[in-house]
C-alpha cells in the first residue's frame, strides 16, 4: 500500500489534475494506492476570505463565490468531453450551493465561529476530491471518494483539532482495507465523535497523509509538491544548493524547523512512529528522484559529506544578562524562564557560560522588546542591588543551523565550521549544540546571512558526488 498526497500547488487547474491523475495511474499499476488531496490552489484562502466577508456583511461575496465555482467548473470543462461533464459538475454544483447556504447563514447572523469556519474550509478539499474522482473514473481508474470525516476522528478544538489516533486508525482500516480501487480522501478535514466537521490546522493535508499511511501501515507516503525535494540550503541565497537525496526524520525535522518549508515536522510524527518512509516528489517534474525521509539506520548516505544541510531563521533578537550576582544561585534561570512563560514569550535558544556571568536568551524579534521589558521587571531587585550589571538587547540577528547525522562523533566539526566563518570575517554571538550532535546553531548579525551560508556550503557541501 502506498499513500500519495498532492498539495494545492499540484492542483492549480485542469492541467494539474491531469498530471496528478497520470502519477496516480502509474503508481496504481504496481501497488494498492490511497490518495490524499489538498484543496485546489488558493481555495482555502478564498474560503476564509468569503466567510470573513459574510460575517462583516461586506460586498463582493457573490464574485468570490463565483470565482471558486469557476475554478472547479473550468477545470471540469478543460478535462472532460461533453458526455462526462454533466456527471462531474453535478456534485460540484450541489456542494457549491450548500456552501452558499452556509455563507448566507453567516451573513444573517453576522458571526462565523471557529466551528463554522471549519465547515466552510472543508469545502475546499471536498470539492477538489470530487473533481479528481470524476476525472480519474473517466480515465478508467477505479477511484472512490472516501469522506475524511468518517475516518479521521478528532476532538472539538476547531481550527486545529487534535486527532484521536487509536480510533482513527481503526476507522481507517475498517473503511479502506477492504476497498477495491483507489481511495481518494480529502486532506485537512476530520470530524468529532458526533460527526461535526473539524480541520487539522493550515497545511493539514500532509498530516492526513501521515495518519492514513500509519493507519494502513503503508510502505511509503509520497508527498507530491512543486519543488524537487528538500534542499541543502536556500537556493535564493546559495546558488550551489542541491536536492538532498535522503535524510533521517530527525534531520528533516531540524531542517524544516529552521525554515526549509517542505514538510511540517509535526505532520511527520504518525509516519515516523511507525517507521514509514516519506518521499518528497515534484508533480511538475516527476522524473526527479525527490528526497527520501526515513529512519537514520535505513538510509544510504553520501559518505563524503560531513553535514546534510544548512538552514536559518531570520528576524532574531537577543537579550544578554550580565552580572556577577547570578553565580551559584540555584533557581535564577527558573525565575527568568517562568517570568517569560507567564508573558507567553517563547525562548528559542539559550546559552550560559559556566562562569555563570552571562545568560543569553534568543527570541523572535517580534517578542524581543517585550522580553526585555519582562526581564527588567522581574529582575528589578537584582538590578537595584547591582547583582546584575546590565541587560542588552541586540536586534537584526539571524540563527544559522548546520544539520547532519554525520556530525555525530566526528571531532573537529565545530572547529572547521567556526574557522571557516572566522576566515570570512563573521562574528559569532551565541553558539548552541545539543548532545545529539545533529545540529550546531549559532547567532550572527543579519547582514552576514548570505556570506555565512555560502561559506558553510562551500566548506562542507561542495564535494558532493555529481
Which of 4, 6, 8, 126 binds Mg ion (CB under 5 A)? It is 8
CB-nearer residue toward ligand ASP: 21 or 44: 44
Sheet strand arrangement including 430-433: 349-352, 358-364, 309-322, 390-403, 439-445, 430-433
**CB under 5 A: which stretch of 37-45, 147-155, 180-188, 404-412 binds Mg ion?**
37-45
CB 145 within 8 A of CB 129: yes
User: Nearest 5°: CA angle at 330, between 329 and 334?
Assistant: 115
Tell which residue, 387, 392, 382, 404, has the closest CA to residue 430.
392
Number of residues that bind ligand ASP (CB under 6 A): 12
Positions 148 through 207 that interact with ligand ASP (CB under 6 A): 187-188, 202-205
Residue written as grid cell 450551493: 97
CB 176 within 8 A of CB 151: yes
Shortest gap between Cβ of 122 and ligand ASP (angstroms)?
Answer: 9
Binding partner of residue 215 among Mg ion, ligand ASP, none, CB cut-off 5 to 8 Å per kind: none
The Cα 66–Cα 71 span in angstroms is: 8
Residue nearest to ligand ASP (CB): 205
> 256-259 contacts: CB < 8 A, separation 24 or more?
256/230, 257/311, 258/311, 258/312, 258/313, 258/399, 258/401, 258/403, 258/441, 259/234, 259/311, 259/312, 259/313
Shortest gap between Cβ of 216 and ligand ASP (angstroms)?
Answer: 19
Positions 101 through 140 that interact with ligand ASP (CB under 6 A): 124
CB-nearer residue toward Mg ion: 39 or 453: 39
Which of 3, 6, 8, 403 binds ligand ASP (CB under 6 A)? It is 8
Binding partner of residue 21 among Mg ion, ligand ASP, none, CB cut-off 5 to 8 Å per kind: none
**CB under 6 A: which stretch of 37-45, 281-289, 406-414, 440-448 binds ligand ASP?**
37-45
The Cα 209–Cα 184 span in angstroms is: 11
Shortest gap between Cβ of 364 and ligand ASP (angstroms)?
Answer: 22
Q: Interface with Mg ion includes 38 (CB under 5 A)?
A: yes
The Cα 126–Cα 134 span in angstroms is: 12
Q: At residue 163, what are phi and psi to the nearest 5 degrees?
A: -85, 135
275: left (phi over 0), alpha (psi -120 to 50) or beta: left
Contact code string over 196-235 relative to ligand ASP, x by CB under 6 A: ------xxxx------------------------------
Q: Which spans of this chain sit near ligand ASP (rule: CB under 6 A)?
A: 7-8, 38-39, 44, 124, 187-188, 202-205
Q: Which spans of this chain sit near Mg ion (rule: CB under 5 A)?
A: 8, 38
Amino acid at each position: 500500500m502506498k499513500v500519495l498526497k498532492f498539495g494545492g500547488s499540484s492542483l492549480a487547474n485542469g492541467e494539474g489534475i491531469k498530471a496528478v491523475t497520470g502519477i496516480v495511474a502509474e503508481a496504481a499499476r504496481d501497488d494498492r494506492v490511497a490518495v490524499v488531496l489538498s484543496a485546489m490552489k488558493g481555495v482555502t484562502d478564498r474560503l476564509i476570505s468569503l466567510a470573513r466577508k459574510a460575517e462583516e456583511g461586506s460586498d463582493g461575496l457573490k464574485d468570490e463565490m463565483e470565482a471558486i465555482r469557476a475554478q472547479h467548473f473550468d477545470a471540469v470543462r478543460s478535462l472532460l468531453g461533453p458526455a462526462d461533464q454533466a456527471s462531474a459538475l453535478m456534485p460540484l454544483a450541489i456542494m457549491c450551493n450548500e456552501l452558499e447556504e452556509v455563507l448566507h447563514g453567516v451573513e444573517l447572523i453576522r458571526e462565523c465561529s471557529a466551528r463554522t469556519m471549519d465547515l466552510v474550509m472543508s469545502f475546499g478539499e471536498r470539492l477538489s476530491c470530487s473533481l479528481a474522482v470524476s476525472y480519474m473514473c473517466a480515465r478508467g481508474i477505479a477511484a472512490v471518494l472516501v469522506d475524511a470525516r468518517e475516518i479521521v476522528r478528532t476532538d472539538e478544538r476547531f481550527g486545529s483539532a487534535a486527532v484521536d489516533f487509536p480510533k482513527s486508525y481503526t476507522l481507517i482500516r475498517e473503511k479502506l482495507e477492504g476497498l477495491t480501487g483507489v481511495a481518494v480522501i480529502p486532506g485537512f478535514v476530520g470530524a468529532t465523535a458526533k460527526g461535526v466537521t473539524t480541520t487539522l490546522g493550515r497545511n493539514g493535508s500532509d498530516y492526513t497523509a501521515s495518519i492514513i499511511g500509519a493507519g494502513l501501515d503503508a510502505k511509503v507516503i509520497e508527498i507530491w509538491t512543486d519543488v524537487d525535494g528538500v534542499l541543502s540550503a536556500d537556493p535564493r541565497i546559495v546558488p550551489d544548493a542541491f536536492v538532498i537525496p535522503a535524510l533521517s526524520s530527525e534531520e528533516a525535522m531540524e531542517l524544516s524547523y529552521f525554515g526549509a518549508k517542505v514538510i511540517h515536522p509535526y505532520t511527520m510524527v504518525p509516519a515516523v512512529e511507525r517507521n514509514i518512509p516519506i518521499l518528497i516528489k515534484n508533480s511538475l517534474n516527476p522524473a526527479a528522484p525527490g528526497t527520501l525521509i526515513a529512519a537514520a539506520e535505513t538510509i544510504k548516505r553520501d559518505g563524503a559529506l560531513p553535514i546534510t544541510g544548512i538552514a536559518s531563521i531570520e528576524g532574531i533578537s537577543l537579550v544578554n544578562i550580565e552580572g556577577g550576582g547570578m553565580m551559584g544561585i540555584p533557581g535564577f534561570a527558573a525565575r527568568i524562564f517562568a517570568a517569560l512563560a507567564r508573558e507567553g514569550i517563547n525562548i528559542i535558544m539559550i546559552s550560559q557560560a559556566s562562569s555563570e556571568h552571562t545568560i543569553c536568551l534568543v527570541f523572535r524579534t517580534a517578542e524581543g522588546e517585550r522580553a526585555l521589558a519582562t526581564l527588567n521587571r522581574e529582575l528589578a531587585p537584582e538590578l537595584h542591588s547591582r547583582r546584575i550589571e546590565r541587560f542588552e538587547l541586540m536586534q537584526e540577528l539571524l540563527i544559522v543551523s548546520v544539520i547532519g547525522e554525520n556530525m555525530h562523533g566526528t571531532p573537529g566539526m565545530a572547529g572547521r565550521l567556526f574557522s571557516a566563518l572566522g576566515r570570512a570575517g563573521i562574528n559569532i554571538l551565541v553558539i548552541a549544540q545539543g548532545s545529539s550532535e545533529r545540529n550546531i546553531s549559532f547567532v550572527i548579525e543579519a547582514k552576514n546571512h548570505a556570506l555565512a551560508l555560502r561559506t558553510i556550503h562551500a566548506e562542507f557541501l561542495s564535494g558532493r558526488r555529481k
